[in-house]
A and B are shown apart, each in its own frame.
Chain A
Amino acid sequence: MNAHQIDQRTLLQNETDPLTHTPVHLLSLEKVGKNYGNILALSDVTMAVDNGRVTCVLGDNGAGKSTLIKIIAGLHQHDAGTLKIMGEERKFSSPRDALDVGIATVYQDLAVVPLMPIWRNFFLGSELTTGFGPFKSLDVQKMKDITKHELAEMGIDLRDVEQPIGQLSGGERQCVAIARAVYFGAKVLILDEPTAALGVKQSGVVLRYILQARDRGLGVVFITHNPHHAFPVGDRFLLLKRGKSIGYYEKKDITLEELTAQMAGGAELAELAHELEQLGGHSDVVAEVESEISKTEGN
């Protein structure tokens, strides 16, 4: 697999976005690197995010995914390369900076208060008020209506916005967090492993909302370690391994099988099968891993 060549080719194509025919990306990283002391957490990462597109960042644990989103979200600063917003070079000094240019991050733990009603969670920290001076009070009806409307817009059919958010399923909660980010003016939405803790069906629900967000014109950065989740929704795929980019593809240049193979690494799978066999692993599991290898080699 000549990953590097493909990498170069797709990058050239990205210079003019086929949808907008403009060379400017909403958000772009060029050869971005970051080290913590003497540890190289990330190096030479190039990627772009555009309106109405989903950029997937794939990688196993420790691949540098978190470091990458922390740079984009303003929690950390990069040491090398450039980060551009609408073609303008930027370096965020705080999450507030990133928020101000419209980069919203939905973290795994979601930042919701379980016992509070959905609409209170939706507006928490940015409440709408009426009246003035000391008599300012919450505009409850308006906030409920907006919450209901925004969630409906995202395709979330909700029972009752007065319900504590803790009663929602993990997927629904994830969706409320996404809808909140969208409503409060996010242009770039970073989703940190939104499907990691969810079952198959719930993951499907979240993936649908990712597409909803995309269709509303947001640039989405979808971080995941599951190629099966990334492939159906992604337009671009950045593969990370041990802090380095091992490939950056347009959707048309890669298949799910190739993506999976790149993610797992054929050699590593073979090693795993061998190890499992030695440990007296269940023969079914071994067979499964072996079939995965043969699939990889087939491609």
Chain B
Amino acid sequence: MTQTLASPTRPVTDERVAKRNPLQKLLGRPEVGALVGAAVLFVFFSVAAPVFLQPASLATVLYGSSTIGIMAVGVSLLMIGGEFDLSTGVAVISSALTASLFSWYFSTNVWVGVALALIVSLAVGFINGWLLIKTKLPSFIITLATFLMLTGLNLGLTRIIGGGVSSPSISTMDGFDSARAIFASSVKIGSVDVNITVFIWIALVALASWILLRTKIGNWIFAAGGDANAARAVGVPVTKTKIGLFMAVGFCAWILGMHNLFAFDAVQSGEGIGNEFLYIIAAVIGGCLLTGGYGSAVGGAIGAFIFGMANKGIVYAQWNPDWFKFFLGLMLLLATIVNLVVKRRAEQK
């Protein structure tokens, strides 16, 4: 194909809609609704609770956001890829329990447990994806099943191996300190301690954004979620993409699981239930389309930040935390409506 110019009779630009104006272009971004929501919420809590603006409070808000946000990265990618995962909440705990119980029972260095937990988390993701592809059942059913099974396994195995409802403390074991430094330390910035999960979260969001927008795999994720049949017809490996996405969610669950384990040195086996919805909410607030094919990693991060602000802001404003869930539901509703309106307006020609 020689790089000759287009024939002079046909201008490359079109006079009908010469340019989309930049504002409209910006409003077309998936995360805009969430960004507006986050800004409103930020101003709101800054006014309602002056403590909110102090660096230490902001660090706490960011930490709270990161514990949702790390998972929201994987969940957002998966949602863009057209699937969702109900097993994520308990999968985090499964990962933590695997590391803890294995290294405790066999008295190994905790890093052995950490490595095994990674394998187990990736395997859970792989099984979710593989079952989805093989059975062609909706991901709702498949991951609901794994959610229930993991919940049972968490409780059952913890009781058999550890003899209780929480895993035994591993704080005195070899490797605990180095693992804590990696997964659960804090970094001093100025006068405040910022938890390391905040940095892991930001790094993951950056990585996921790069993958989504600037790599082949990102293209395939959008295509697999947007129209799997069309994607397959032009040679996109849809099966591998989807399984890979479930494994990416597994990877995120491993990171958060390790943080939970090394921040508290023991894990409650019944925890995590219900958290899967928080991750999904973060992704949806962030503008990821539940039906797939549209969204961004940054959006999921903003969704998580909204969650973090609402969660801690209510405390700082000294309201009764009972109201938090109501507030979250309202946020979800408003954010999705704003998203919808913004998107429709932006796409009008």
Contact = CB atoms under 8 A, between A and B. Distances in A.
A116 B233 contact: no
B14 A125 contact: no
A209 to B, nearest CB: 12
A155 interface: yes
B1 to A, nearest CB: 7
Q: Interface size class for chain A?
A: 35 or more
Interface string A185-228: 00000000000000000000000000000000000000000000
A157 B14 contact: yes
A138 B214 contact: yes
B189 interface: no
B215 A157 contact: no
A240 B19 CA distance: 47
B281 to A, nearest CB: 22
Interface string A92-116: 0000000000000001011111111
Interface in B1-54: 1, 3, 6-7, 10-14, 16-20
B207 to A, nearest CB: 11
Contacts of A111: 229-230, 233-234
Contacts of B226: 113-116
Contacts of B17: 159-160
Contacts of A110: 230
Interface string B229-240: 111011110000
A136 B216 contact: yes
Nearest to A185: B1
Nearest to B235: A125
A194 B234 CA distance: 18
B14 A113 contact: no
Contacts of B20: 159-160, 163
A115 B295 CA distance: 10
Nearest to A127: B216
Nearest to A109: B230
Contacts of A163: 20
Nearest to B233: A111
A149 interface: yes
A116 B223 contact: yes
A124 B214 contact: no
Interface centre among A110, A115, A129, A160, by most B CB within 10 Å? A115
A111 B223 CA distance: 10
B294 interface: yes
B230 A137 contact: no
A141 B223 CA distance: 20
A125 B229 CA distance: 13
A127 B219 contact: yes
A18 B19 CA distance: 47
B104 interface: no
B193 interface: no
Given A124-B231, A125-B236, A159-B17, A164 B219 contact: no
A113 B227 contact: yes
A137 B209 CA distance: 12
A159 B14 contact: yes
B230 A113 contact: yes
B231 A164 contact: no
Interface string B197-220: 000000000000010011110110
B236 to A, nearest CB: 5
Interface in B273-322: 289, 293-294
A256 interface: no
Contact of A116 (B14, B18, B222, B229): B222
A140 to B, nearest CB: 7
A167 B223 CA distance: 16
Contact of A150 (B1, B11, B13, B347): B1
B231 A137 contact: no
A203 to B, nearest CB: 20
A153 interface: yes
A140 B210 CA distance: 12
A115 B224 CA distance: 11
B10 A152 contact: yes
A124 B1 contact: no
Nearest to A152: B6
Contacts of A136: 215-216
A127 B18 CA distance: 27
Contacts of A109: 230
Given A111-B233, A113-B227, A124-B234, A183 B214 contact: no
Given A113-B223, A114-B293, A167-B347, 12 more contacts: A107-B233, A111-B234, A113-B293, A115-B293, A116-B219, A125-B231, A125-B236, A137-B214, A149-B3, A159-B13, A160-B20, A164-B347
19 contacts: A109-B230, A110-B230, A111-B233, A113-B231, A125-B234, A129-B216, A136-B215, A137-B215, A138-B219, A146-B1, A149-B3, A150-B1, A152-B12, A153-B6, A155-B10, A157-B10, A159-B13, A159-B16, A167-B347
The 5 closest A-B CB pairs, nearest first, are A152-B6, A125-B235, A113-B226, A125-B234, A111-B233
